[in-house]
Amino acid sequence: MKLNTDDLVYVAGHRGLVGAAILRRLVKERICRVLFKTSSELDLRNQHAVDNFFANNKPAYVFLCAARVGGIQANSSYPADFIRDNLQIQTNVIDAAYRNGVRKLVFLGSSCIYPKLAQQPIQESSLLTGPLEPTNEFYAIAKIAGLKMCVAYRRQYGFDAISVMPTNIYGPGDHYDLETSHVIPALLRKFHEAKIADNPTVTVWGTGSPRREFMHVDDLADACVHLLINYSDEQTINIGVGKDISISDLALLIQQIVGYDGDILFDTNKPDGTPQKLLNVSRLHETGWKAKISLEQGLREAYEYFVSFYNKESFK
């Protein structure tokens, strides 16, 4: 398929990290018309409001990026919010999209849907083959339900809904609240504040041994547009870079990029989460797409972005 300049594409969750990147990608290329609404303008948890929105606007394509997201602490503190809000958002958007003639929908899942001890690198077929990581199981269960809803609507109604499973994402637009942020923005902020305060140490959660794969959000956006055009199947497809790094090595790399001269301490009383999470991206590569932004390059860009707007008062 091909996007036309007259096609209307709805980006649900355009203010989030991923949605904003997809919006930038579409606007920059000028390959279609783009539709978006803030959460105050359209509450995706409200079925009636979502139904009216789709009936009145009739988008041709949908990127479903809207979700309640957060790190280990947020997931552990608000499990009911994570499962309720994400189930409501997904159900309302997928169903309304089908009933209002959307040609194709791309559902953004998360690599946390896979079992905690899945064989590495994780293949798409690993889904539901073992227990989930307890620290984010409620978010993961909601995302699995969204993925399966796409499969069900494809089988029963012939609705062209695909599910993509990104690895850990970072980049412009990330959140730096230490209570809710993911590991890269949290470490960037910690090392930056330690540098300007001349603190002798920075504490990192866990042992530092877990390994994670990280992808720049602009690479993810490019992959999502590529798959919208080039992929159509009920089998979910992983999006990642095919390489991982230990949290301790990540901390050392961020320390170098920030220019912090102190010591790194690891708080082993804090949870590590999944020991390793690396996606098998062979199916993605078979579609003709590979990541382009290296981790070091992406981290330098992310740090420049953070410093450009940093205001200590805004984080209190």
Distance CA 95, CA 91 (A): 6
Examine the domain organization and report whether 201 and 229 are in the same domain: no
Q: Are 3 and 57 in contact (CB under 8 A)?
A: no
CA-CA distance, 166 to 175, in Å (whole number)? Answer: 18
Domain that holds residue 300: 183-210+245-277+294-311
Catalytic pick from 98, 139, 170, 260? Answer: 139
The CATH number of whichever domain residue 106 belongs to comes to 3.40.50.720
Is pTM beyond 0.75 here? Answer: yes
Establish whether 205 is an annotated binding residue.
Answer: yes
Q: Does residue 169 have a known ligand-binding role?
A: yes
- 151 lies in the same domain as 190: no
Do 175 and 165 form a contact (C-beta atoms < 8 A)?
Answer: no
Tell me, letter by letter, the H, E, C secondary structure of 267-307.
Answer: ECCCCCCCCEECECCHHHHHCCCCCCCCHHHHHHHHHHHHH
Q: 3-class secondary structure for 213-236?
A: CEEEHHHHHHHHHHHHHHCCCCCC
Radius of gyration of the chain (CA): 19
Q: Is 288 domain-assigned?
A: no
Based on the structure, what is the number of domains in the chain?
Answer: 2
pLDDT of residue 236: 97
pLDDT of residue 81: 95
Token representation of residue 133? 């990581």
pLDDT at residue 273, rounded to an integer: 76
Residue 108 assigned ligand-binding role: yes
Would you say 190 is a known binding-site residue?
yes
Any domain includes 132: yes
Question: What pLDDT is stored for residue 274 in this prediction?
Answer: 75
What is the predicted pLDDT for the residue at 1? 81
Is 15 marked as a binding-site residue?
yes
Q: Confirm if 61 and 104 have CB atoms less than 8 A apart.
A: yes
Task: Consult the annotation and say whether 28 binds a ligand.
Answer: no
Question: Residue 208 annotated as binding?
Answer: no
Q: Please report whether residue 316 resides in a domain.
A: no
CATH code: domain of residue 305: 3.90.25.10
- Whether residue 3 is contained in a domain is answered as no
> Would you say residue 316 has pLDDT above 50?
no
Residue 287 domain-assigned (yes or no)? no
Kindly state whether residue 189 falls inside one of the protein's structural domains.
Answer: yes
Whether 139 is catalytic is yes
Burial category of 296 from C-beta neighbours within 10 Å (exposed 0-12, middle 13-18, buried 19 and up):
exposed
- pLDDT > 70 in the chain, percent: 97
Is the per-residue pLDDT at 147 higher than 60? yes
* Whole-number pLDDT of residue 180: 66
Is the model more confident about 111 or about 258? 258
Same domain as 150, residue 127: yes
Please compute the mean of the pLDDT values over residues 186-190 and round it to a whole number.
95
